[in-house]
Amino acid sequence: MSNRNNVAPRHIVLAFSGGLDTSVALVWLKERYRCRLTAFIADLGQGEELDVAARKAEKLGADEVRVVDLREEFARDYAFPMYRADALYEGQYLMGSSIGRPLIAAAQLRIAEEVGADAVAHGATGKGNDQIRFEMTFAALRPDITVISPWREWEFASRTDLLAFAGRNGIELDLSSGERPYSIDSNLLHTSYEGEVLEDPALPAPAGLLFRVNDVADTPAEPETVEIHFQSGNPVGVNGTPLSATGVLETLDAIGRRHGIGRLDIVENRIFGMKTRNIYEAPSGALLWHAHRAVQSLVLDPEVAQLKEELMPRYAALVYRGLWFAPERLMLQAAIDFSQQDVTGDAVLRVHHGGVQVVGRRSPHSRYDVAFATFEADDVFDQRDSSGWLRVSTVRFRAGRRAGAVDR
C-alpha cells in the first residue's frame, strides 16, 4: 500500500488544498518522482479559495487540475449519517474535518481510476490525524494503490523548513496577516483553526483570528426563531422551505453565523495520544445537533434511546479515527438508521447571543402522551401499581442486608 519500497510511480493524484503543506508537496513530488501529477481539489464548500487553489496548482507545475463539486454528496452521504448518530468526539467536537477526509480520499481514488494513476498522495503531517483518515480510506477501498506521504519521506522537519523551501522555489503564500500561517480547514459544516498562535491553550485566540461566526458582542440584539424539518432522521427543510442537503447546511450556516452559534475552543486527544488545542466554528452542525435530538426525543422507544446514547461515543471514535469505511462503523450505522425510521417532524429553536434553546418539537410518530405524562388525575396509569414494581426492583438490596453486606 505505501511507498516504502520506493516504487517509482508513473502518475500521482495529489489531494491539493493550496495551503503551505500541499503547495510544497506538489513541487517536491514533481522534483522527486518526475512523473505526471494531477492536482485534485475537493469542493466541500470552501468557497472562493477553490479558484485560487486551482490557479496555484497550475502555476506550481501540476500537469492537470481536477476540481470536483462534492458538496451534496458530503452533506447527504457523510454529514447527515453522522448527525443521525448525534456524534460528538469526547462529548464536544462535531467532527467537521474528520468526516470530510474519507470523502476526499474516496473521491481521490475515483479520480485516480479516471486518469489511470497508480499512486495517490496527501499533505497530512506524520504526527497528525488526517494521514490516518486518508490512508484508512485508501486501504479500505483500494489497498493495492501506492500511497505517498511526503511528510514521512522528505527531509523537512517543520513548517519553518517548508517556509524556507517555499521561499527558494517561488511558492507564493498569503502572509498578509503578518503571522506565520496556521492551519485552517473549512467546509460546509465548519471551520477549524490550530497551530502557531493557538498552540498555548492558556491564551485566548487573538482578536480577528476567527472569521466563521460573529463574536457574541456583534450578534443581533433580538433572538431569532428557526424551525428545522426532519424526515427519517435527515433534515429536509428550514422554516417551511424544502431544501437539498447542501441547502439545509448553507441556510443554517447563515443563521448560525449571524448569532455567533457553534464556536468551540477545546483541548482534544489526537489518535497518536498527544493533546492538541483546536478552535472550531460549526454553526450549522450545532443547530442540527440540538434540533435532531429534540425531534428524536419524542419518537424513540426509551430503551432504544438509551442504547443509542451508549453507542454514540464508540461511533464518534470510529469517525474521528478515520474508520468510516470499516465494517464496525457500517454495522453501527445500520443500527442507528433502524432507530431513525420514525424520526420525522419539526424542531423549533431560539438562537440568541451564541446560545441555542429548544422551544418546541412535534412529530406525527410522537410517543409523548399527555394522558401518561400529566400530574393530574388520569385513567391510564394506576399509581398503586408502582408499589409492586419497586418491591421487586429492590429485592437485591434487601437480600444484601440479610447476607450482612457492608455499606460502602
Would the annotation count 18 as a binding residue? yes
| Residue 183 annotated to the active site | yes
Would the annotation count 192 as a binding residue? yes
Which one of the listed residues 84, 101, 329, 361 is annotated catalytic?
101
Would the annotation count 130 as a binding residue? yes
Cα–Cα distance, 30 to 62 (Å, whole number): 8
Would the annotation count 98 as a binding residue? yes
| Residue 161 annotated to the active site | no
| Residue 200 annotated to the active site | no
Which one of the listed residues 21, 86, 185, 253 is annotated catalytic?
21
Would the annotation count 72 as a binding residue? no
Which one of the listed residues 97, 149, 183, 186 is annotated catalytic?
183
Residues 6+ apart with CB under 8 A from 292: 83, 84, 86, 230, 233, 235, 343, 347
Would the annotation count 207 as a binding residue? no
Would the annotation count 15 as a binding residue? yes
Would the annotation count 160 as a binding residue? no
| Residue 101 annotated to the active site | yes
Would the annotation count 42 as a binding residue? yes
Contact assessment for residue 188 and residue 246, using Cβ atoms and an 8 Å cutoff? yes
Report the half-sphere exposure of 227 (CA within 13 A, side-chain side). Answer: 11
Cα–Cα distance, 288 to 360 (Å, whole number): 14
Would the annotation count 385 as a binding residue? no
Cα–Cα distance, 206 to 204 (Å, whole number): 6
Would the annotation count 17 as a binding residue? yes
Would the annotation count 183 as a binding residue? yes
Which one of the listed residues 86, 130, 185, 253 is annotated catalytic?
130
Phi, psi (rounded to 5 degrees) for 338? -60, -40
Annotated binding site for L-aspartate: 125, 129-130
Give the active site residues. Answer: 21, 101, 130, 183
Annotated binding site for L-citrulline: 93, 98, 129, 133, 183, 192, 268, 280
Annotated binding site: 15-23, 42, 93, 98, 123, 125, 129-130, 133, 183, 192, 268, 280
Annotated binding site for ATP: 15-23, 42, 123
